[in-house]
């Protein structure tokens, strides 16, 4: 199995062993190897202390909740986490891991370390708390979110009977959990099967973790799941799913600047990728556009500002959220008008001259004036259409006299 371990993880493991510290691959990496999958993140447990880790990996850093720190080591695009059982034992470390399927270790020799229950649950594809659920949740309340997240992201896995009820009984508080840790679980859950993730949150009574993302209007989990089923998320799934959650209880308005500002602040607090934060905020802001009474010029401006792919996401989001708010005929008319503009947008490369061509033809200097002319050309092309590149070029002469 070690042959399938990413090279970055092997290098970290061997460096620790050469320094004289017992070290093993643990957690999700071992689970994925046993499932025949290539591990994503690398998890390592070692007897080295955190001070020793800092000396061995000067580019690393200690993170995580008090009493359960981890040491992050740069591993290219992968996330490499090292936990220390300094002063304890590997067996004790495994006994305190979150779920049985993550309570296994793999030595560099290929020896698998763990209980029979852990190995059996891997075969059964069963998510079960490792030992006392109350103890595991007391050590780290975030495990209450990891349970539905794993259910949503591990194909074919089911949750053991009593696991969600154990979370309900423990009623864990996330007040002391770092926002970025919460955000990571939410992001991964939504990237998997969002329906399973949300049903798991509801079953464990932890759906309130998304309260800040939802608006203040009516609607419960059942309506939300129905909207998710209607959502076309074959493209940009995380963006569309998150925008749907953020729009679910908000009043339909256009543009929704308040909603956009709110969702951006929440996602940035969760340390989500900047592109997702800005994209989701833009979707929430423009989601009611199909219901707005916009002119063709306004539609053209928005199409040029955001692009065709963005507006396909707007249509997908609007269709999932609105059941009876907008007559079908009106919606069809909007899409038809938009479609004609989008068709012309696809011919831009062939018919609209570049900035360099404008500067050469009209002896212009690089600057705002060139940008103004290009925007005017693009807008006019969407609204009226140029028959040829030369026609567009000749139009520039008259545009230069319009100030």
List pLDDT tens digits, range 261-271: 999 999 999 99
Q: What does the mean pLDDT of the chain come to?
A: 91
Q: Which helix (H) or strand (E) holds 250?
A: none
pLDDT in tens, 111-140: 999 999 999 999 999 999 999 999 999 999
- Per the DSSP assignment, residues forming a β-bridge with 158 are 126
Split at pLDDT 50, 70, 90, the class of 211 is confident
pLDDT value at residue 180: 92
Backbone angles phi, psi at 142, to 5 degrees: -60, -20
pLDDT in tens, 34-90: 999 888 888 999 999 999 999 999 988 888 766 678 899 988 778 889 999 977 899
The predicted model gives 138-150 an average pLDDT of 96
| pTM: predicted TM-score of the whole model, two decimal places | 0.88
Distance CA 296, CA 86 (A): 67
CB crowding 363-380: b at 16 or more within 10 Å, else e: ebeeeeebeebbeebbeb
Return the SS3 of 42: strand
Distance CA 278, CA 55 (A): 38
pLDDT in tens, 327-375: 667 778 888 999 999 999 999 999 999 999 999 999 999 999 999 999 9
Residue 220, token pair as written in the block: 């419960």
Q: Which residues touch 342 (CB under 8 Å, ≥6 apart)? A: 303, 308, 311
Residue 171, token pair as written in the block: 């009623």
Domains of the chain: 1-124 (3.30.460.10), 125-209 (1.10.110), 211-345 (no CATH), 349-399 (no CATH)
Distance CA 359, CA 365 (A): 6
pLDDT value at residue 218: 57
Strand runs labelled E in 144-302: 158-159
SS3 percent helix, strand, coil of the chain, rounded to 5, is: 60, 10, 35
Three-state secondary structure along 187-204? HHHHHCCHHHHHHHHHHC
């Amino acid at each position: 199995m070690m042959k399938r371990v990413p090279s970055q993880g092997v290098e970290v493991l061997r460096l620790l062993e050469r320094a004289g510290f017992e070290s093993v691959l643990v957690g999700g990496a071992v689970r994925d190897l046993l499932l025949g999958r290539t591990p994503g993140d690398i998890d390592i447990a070692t007897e080295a202390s955190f001070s020793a880790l800092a000396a061995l990996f000067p580019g690393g850093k200690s993170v995580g909740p008090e009493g359960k720190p981890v040491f992050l080591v740069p591993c290219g695009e992968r996330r490499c986490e090292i936990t220390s059982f300094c002063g304890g034992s590997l067996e004790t470390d495994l006994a305190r891991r979150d779920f049985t399927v993550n309570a296994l270790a793999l030595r560099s020799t290929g020896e698998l370390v763990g209980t029979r229950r852990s190995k059996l649950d891997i075969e059964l594809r069963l998510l079960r708390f490792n030992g006392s659920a109350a103890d595991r949740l007391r050590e780290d309340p975030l495990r209450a979110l990891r349970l539905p997240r794993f259910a949503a992201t591990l194909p074919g896995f089911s949750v053991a009977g009593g696991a969600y009820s154990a979370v309900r009984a423990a009623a864990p508080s996330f007040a002391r959990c770092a926002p970025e840790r919460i955000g990571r679980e939410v992001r991964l859950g939504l990237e998997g099967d969002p329906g399973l993730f949300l049903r798991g949150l509801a079953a464990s009574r932890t759906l309130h973790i998304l309260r800040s993302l939802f608006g203040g209007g009516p609607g419960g989990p059942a309506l939300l799941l129905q909207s998710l089923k209607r959502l076309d998320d074959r493209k940009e799934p995380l963006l569309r799913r998150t925008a749907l959650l953020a729009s679910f209880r908000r009043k339909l308005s256009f543009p929704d600047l308040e909603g956009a500002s709110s969702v951006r602040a929440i996602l940035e607090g969760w340390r989500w990728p900047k592109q997702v934060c800005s994209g989701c905020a833009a979707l929430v802001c423009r989601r009611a556009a199909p219901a707005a009474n916009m002119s063709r010029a306004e539609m053209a401006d928005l199409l040029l500002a955001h692009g065709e792919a963005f507006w396909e996401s707007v249509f997908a989001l609007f269709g999932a959220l609105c059941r009876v708010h907008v007559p079908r005929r009106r919606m069809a008319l909007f899409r038809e008008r938009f479609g004609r503009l989008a068709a012309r947008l696809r011919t831009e490369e062939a018919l609209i001259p570049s900035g360099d061509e404008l500067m050469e033809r009209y002896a212009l200097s690089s600057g705002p004036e060139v940008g103004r002319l290009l925007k005017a050309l693009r807008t006019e092309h969407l609204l009226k259409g140029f028959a040829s590149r030369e026609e567009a070029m000749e139009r520039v002469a008259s545009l230069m006299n319009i100030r």
